[in-house]
Structure 1
């Protein structure tokens, strides 16, 4: 079970790195930061950062199957942080060149997260190089959605001690290209209602 703000999410477990160990590096030399397990389906989501991360604008993950299956899916989500900054600038009537005092940005960003959440775009959910495709079901899609929201909140840029802890009323859209048809759609954070 994970504690997500005020919500207990029984179907998720966080598998931390062993204390004092280095983060695992796979055969592609990708550094992983820990794994989230979805208990009912056995799916695991591991964030990593490759050399192709576009200067931190994207969040990258591997989705791996339960025992007995052999596949690995690369999942890439566009970070919602720039959209929050744009909303803060719009609310203050500032242009891109205007500076925002840090404390004002932190305060307004936190309030906007609580009220509106973030908007994330998943534009890749494809087999990793040389891997077979996954078999998608509604349960697996919903598990991926929940784990992505957890990981995006947990590893996002808003892990500031004065920020609310979520879950937020964020939205995740799976783009029609680069993503299997079984995943297409726009989803609201399923843990958000639990935290109310």
Structure 2
């Protein structure tokens, strides 16, 4: 995504960036792509409704070049997104079993997470936080756009008690549906 600062350098500091963006968006109306606000900047993206047609035209599979997350990876990423900064030990307590360095390595390799501040716990373990790439991949401008944790609890899709007891797996299917629905909106 291109930040407002870069856009201001390109179009001139005296221009109203919001008006320029509105003009670009209006010019793209009816086309298969749009200008979207993600990860603190603006990005030109294909509209979801045209994705399958474009992939078929170029003979590529949807999602080709991107690795789909396993259920374990998605769960760990969800916990990092909601509870960051969080250590691997804290993640392990959520799941009731050890979260492997390899799993963290997969998320780091995809640039979905990065090292955060050192924890004040004994030994000062690394903590993990989400990245701008995480925001971009999930179509979010900020973490505030994640589905509200308390609203998910109220809807019966998540339970903080189950999460703290290490029984997060039972909540994952409902949460995954809620995130997909909110992302489509």
TM-score between the two structures when normalised by the length of structure 2: 0.25
The structure where strand makes up a greater share of residues is 1
1 or 2, which has the higher helix percentage?
2
- Larger-Rg structure: 2
